[in-house]
């Protein structure tokens, strides 16, 4: 079967995520857009992916639990899990690598953990818009150890993109799936980085506002909807990117 997936969506927990990005609104919008699968990927945090998953179950939308990690090299990497216990164990370790700097909501934005009914449960005090004290290699190893998958995000982008920071694909990421931005031109990219033709390149919306949702998604050909199957489909070229 063919499934439409957007694996990069921020919520009100990301300091740069709009206040309208509650799990409730995101699931409603995903339903309107007829997405089968989404992933919630807040900056260096995981907690709003849980209410999103529960809301998704009610609406028939599969929600992967995720995070967009920022490594020591200032590179953004999506870390995706299908299992609540695994991502919680993973994150309890990762949180120790987030610097002890307090968020200034006036300057960076709010970091709100909410429930299915949009009640605010907690405010994350540590600044999430920061680099973890983990290298790309260390983070990747940790994700694999806990049974997750990595997708370096918006790899061509000037800020926090893998290629513009390192100019190459490091060995620890050689067997990965990569995300290019919703507005990137593959032809232009291949002129600068010809080696990219050998890698699976998907796109997601990287939504920070409800209106961003649907600007890009990827359709995968899978036998069943699971993270494992979707990741394999991407690696084996059974995917097609759609852009608005
Ligand atoms: Zn990013
Ligand atoms: Zn993002």
Structural domains of the chain in order of their starting residue, each with its CATH number: 2-243 (3.20.20.140)
Position 163 scores a pLDDT of 95
- Per-residue pLDDT band at 6 (split at 50, 70, 90): very high
Position 127 scores a pLDDT of 97
Query: Exposed (0-12), middle (13-18) or buried (19+): which is 213, by Cβ within 10 Å?
Result: buried
Look-up of token digits 């949180």: 95
pLDDT tens-digit map of 18-52: 999 999 999 999 999 999 999 999 999 999 999 99
Ligand nearest to the CA of 154: 1
pTM: 0.97
Distance 224 CA to ligand 1 centre (A): 28
- SS3 percent helix, strand, coil of the chain, rounded to 5, is 35, 25, 40
Position 167 scores a pLDDT of 87
Q: What's the rounded mean pLDDT across residues 142-165?
A: 96
Task: Taking each helix axis as running N to C, give the angle between helix 84-94 and helix 49-59, from 0 to 180 degrees, rounded to the nearest 10.
Answer: 160
Are residues 17 and 48 in contact, defined by beta-carbon separation less than 8 angstroms?
no
pLDDT tens-digit map of 54-112: 999 999 999 999 999 999 999 999 999 999 999 999 999 999 999 999 999 999 999 99
Distance 143 CA to ligand 1 centre (A): 17
Helices of type H across 33-124: 49-59, 84-94, 105-108
CA–CA separation, 165 and 39 (whole Å): 25
Distance 76 CA to ligand 1 centre (A): 5
Share above pLDDT 90 across residues of the chain, in percent, rounded to a whole number: 98
Position 150 scores a pLDDT of 98
Distance 46 CA to ligand 2 centre (A): 13
CA–CA separation, 218 and 231 (whole Å): 12
- Per-residue pLDDT band at 118 (split at 50, 70, 90): very high
Distance 188 CA to ligand 1 centre (A): 21
Q: What's the rounded mean pLDDT across residues 213-232?
A: 98
Q: How many helices (H) and strands (E) does the chain have?
A: 8, 11
Share above pLDDT 70 across residues of the chain, in percent, rounded to a whole number: 100
Q: What integer best gives the mean pLDDT of the chain?
A: 97
Residues forming beta bridges with residue 81, ordered by sequence position: 65
Distance 41 CA to ligand 2 centre (A): 7
- Torsion angles phi and psi, residue 112, rounded to 5: -105, 130
């Amino acid at each position: 079967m063919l499934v439409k997936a957007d694996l990069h969506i921020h919520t009100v927990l990301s300091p740069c995520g709009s206040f309208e990005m509650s799990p409730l609104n995101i699931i409603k919008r995903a339903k309107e857009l007829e997405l089968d699968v989404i992933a919630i990927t807040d900056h260096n945090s995981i907690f709003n992916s849980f209410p999103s998953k529960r809301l998704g179950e009610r609406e028939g939308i599969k929600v992967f639990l995720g995070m967009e990690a920022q490594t020591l090299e200032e590179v953004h990497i999506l870390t995706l899990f299908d299992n609540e216990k695994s991502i919680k164990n993973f994150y309890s370790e990762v949180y120790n690598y987030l610097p002890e700097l307090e968020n200034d909501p006036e300057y960076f934005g709010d970091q709100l953990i909410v429930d299915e009914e949009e009640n605010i449960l907690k405010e994350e005090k540590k600044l999430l818009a920061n680099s973890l004290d983990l290298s790309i290699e260390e983070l990747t190893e940790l994700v694999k150890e806990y049974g997750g998958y990595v997708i370096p995000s918006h790899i061509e982008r000037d800020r926090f993109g893998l290629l513009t920071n390192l100019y190459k694909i490091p060995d620890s990421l050689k067997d990965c799936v990569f995300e290019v931005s919703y507005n990137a031109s593959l032809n232009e990219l291949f002129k600068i980085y010809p080696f990219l033709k050998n890698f699976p390149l998907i796109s997601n919306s990287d939504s920070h506002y409800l209106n961003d949702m649907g600007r890009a998604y990827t359709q995968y050909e899978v036998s069943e909807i699971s993270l494992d199957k979707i990741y394999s489909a991407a690696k084996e070229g059974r995917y097609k990117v759609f852009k608005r």
